[in-house]
């Protein structure tokens, strides 16, 4: 009883003096600029952007449907969600390591004792055969590692932070998915529109070729005009298969993003639609809001917390460990009286293990974990700077593309007027057919450039919405939600 009391006192003292070695984690403070470089609007907070379905501003119901279907069935999201289940299991394992482990056991062991006489002159008839001796045993064993220096608590801390990082990984995957679907959809409509422009130009050029051929037949022009008209027609027709292939590739990409085979959406998306026409207004918020809004930054911050907790895990290995094992059960030779009071037994075994000399192994382990933390901190800071750069680049690109689009629209109007005049003068014999070809080529190129500019503007908007962390928590998206931390 004295031993039991002393052990209980030792255990209470150890538990009362529990500490968690290693640093206590706090999220680092990063310097944030007052506004985004390249933004034309005054810096203004924009809470709730992660809830806003920015793609709805594009005014395209087909795109809205694709976004919802992608969030439901995308396989990258499914993989990220499976990693959450793994991280939750790790949290349970880490929590269980700090609790007593109870095991039940039972056995029946039989030993044979040779009781035959061994004297040289013994009568063989007096020898007794070997008799069995059976021992029955059943009971419970409880083992418990006392977390005196907080190594197990730090391990639980690391596992919870790792679970948080897995949750943010799902959100980051959804954010990337939304951008990929929108960009692929814009690309599809861009090439469909460029295909329509090419076909319309080819039809106009076919008419020119027919006219010049007829004029050549009646002797009003030379064969040079016919050859030039035919060459320009063939050049334009050569672009048509390229645009058709690009549109099909975009459809295939959308099919895979929606978790389906590449050709699953061909019939649905093949009918041509115009490029979306989004609303002009958009919000970006403050640079400091990116740290709480962008899932990729939140994920890196949680990985930093994991690295901090692992320093404590490594530091705790430098201190003694305390284990307590208790046994309680029954053992006896007679099965009928096995449950008798006399057959009960108990045991209580304390154990202490302390590192004495490990050639610097444990110290090196702490140093390594500290270096891992330093690397994660540098990654966190670099990721934030990259996020600021992405927003600034998107804003600059949007501003520049708007100006380019305005100029291209003016170029289309001027080229249409020039083509009309060139045709009129050619019909009257006042100019060569080369002027008509040049005007028609310039118009075709301006129309293609304007289409490309419209698509680039839309893609830049998508990039901006991604870079500010918008839309990943939109209630309309049917992916598995996880608790906010």
Dihedral sign, Cα of residue 270, residue 271, residue 275, residue 277: negative
Q: From residue 152, how far is each of 21, 141, 163, 360 by CA, in Å?
A: 11, 21, 16, 22
Q: From residue 315, how far is each of 93, 147, 311, 370 by CA, in Å?
A: 21, 13, 6, 10
How many whole angstroms from its chain centre is CA 210? 57
pLDDT score of 403: 94
For the chain, which domains are there? Answer: 34-100+152-322+374-467 (1.20.1600.10)
Cβ(212)–Cβ(433) under 8 Å?
A: yes
pLDDT score of 136: 66
pLDDT score of 135: 66
> Which own/partner pairs from 418-421 qualify as long-range (CB within 8 Å, at least 24 positions apart)?
418/442, 418/443, 419/443
pLDDT tens digits for range 120-164:
555 555 555 555 666 666 777 878 888 888 888 999 999 999 999
Cβ(481)–Cβ(223) under 8 Å?
A: no
d(CA 320, CA 355): 7
pLDDT averaged per 10 residues in sequence order, the chain, 485 residues: 45 56 93 87 86 93 96 92 90 82 72 53 52 68 82 92 94 96 97 96 90 84 87 93 96 96 96 88 88 96 96 91 80 62 74 84 92 97 97 94 95 94 86 88 94 96 95 88 55
pLDDT score of 400: 94
Of 471, 450, 453, 475, residue with least CA distance to 462: 471
pLDDT score of 105: 72
pLDDT score of 198: 95
Cβ(442)–Cβ(414) under 8 Å?
A: no
d(CA 307, CA 361): 19
Return the structure tokens found at 275.
């490029």
**DSSP 8-state code for residue 179:** H
Of 310, 466, 287, residue with least CA distance to 376: 310
């Amino acid at each position: 009883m004295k031993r039991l009391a002393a052990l209980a006192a030792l255990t209470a003292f150890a538990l009362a003096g529990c500490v968690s070695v290693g640093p206590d984690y706090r999220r680092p403070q990063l310097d944030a600029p007052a506004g985004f470089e390249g933004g034309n609007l005054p810096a203004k907070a924009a809470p709730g952007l992660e809830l806003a379905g920015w793609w709805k501003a594009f005014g395209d119901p087909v795109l809205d449907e694709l976004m919802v279907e992608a969030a439901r069935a995308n396989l990258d999201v499914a993989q990220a969600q499976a990693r959450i289940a793994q991280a939750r299991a790790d949290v349970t394992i880490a929590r269980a390591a700090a609790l007593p482990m109870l095991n039940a056991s039972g056995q029946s062991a039989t030993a044979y004792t040779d009781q035959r006489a061994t004297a040289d002159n013994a009568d063989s008839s007096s020898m007794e055969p070997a008799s069995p001796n059976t021992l029955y045993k059943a009971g419970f064993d409880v083992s418990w590692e006392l977390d005196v220096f907080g190594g197990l608590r730090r391990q639980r801390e690391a596992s919870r932070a790792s679970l948080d990082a897995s949750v943010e990984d799902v959100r980051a995957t959804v954010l990337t998915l939304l951008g990929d679907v929108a960009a692929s959809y814009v690309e599809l409509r861009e090439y469909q529109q460029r295909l329509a422009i090419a076909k319309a130009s080819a039809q106009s050029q076919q008419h020119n070729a027919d006219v010049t051929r007829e004029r050549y037949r009646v002797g009003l022009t030379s064969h040079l005009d016919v050859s030039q008209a035919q060459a320009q027609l063939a050049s334009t027709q050569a672009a048509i298969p390229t645009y058709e292939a690009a549109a099909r590739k975009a459809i295939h990409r959308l099919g895979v993003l929606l978790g389906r085979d590449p050709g699953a959406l061909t019939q649905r998306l093949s009918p041509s639609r115009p490029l979306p026409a989004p609303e002009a207004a958009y919000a970006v918020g403050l640079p400091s809001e990116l740290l709480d809004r962008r899932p990729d930054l939140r994920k890196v911050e949680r990985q930093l917390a994991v690295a901090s907790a692992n320093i404590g895990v490594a530091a705790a290995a430098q201190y003694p460990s305390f284990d307590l094992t208790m046994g309680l059960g029954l053992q006896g030779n007679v099965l009928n009286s096995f449950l008798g009071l006399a057959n009960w037994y108990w045991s209580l075994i304390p154990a202490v293990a302390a590192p004495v000399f490990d050639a610097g192994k444990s110290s090196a382990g702490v140093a390594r974990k500290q270096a891992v933390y330093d690397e994660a901190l540098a990654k966190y800071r670099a990721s934030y700077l990259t996020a600021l750069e992405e927003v600034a680049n998107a804003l600059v690109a949007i501003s520049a593309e708007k100006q380019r689009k305005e100029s291209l629209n003016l170029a289309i109007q001027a080229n249409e007027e020039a083509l009309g005049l060139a045709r009129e003068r050619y019909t009257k014999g006042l100019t060569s057919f080369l002027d008509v070809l040049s005007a028609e080529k310039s118009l075709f190129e301006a129309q293609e450039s304007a289409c490309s500019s419209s698509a680039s503007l839309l893609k830049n908007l998508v990039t901006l919405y991604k870079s500010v962390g918008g839309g990943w928590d939109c209630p309309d998206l049917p992916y598995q939600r996880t608790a906010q931390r």
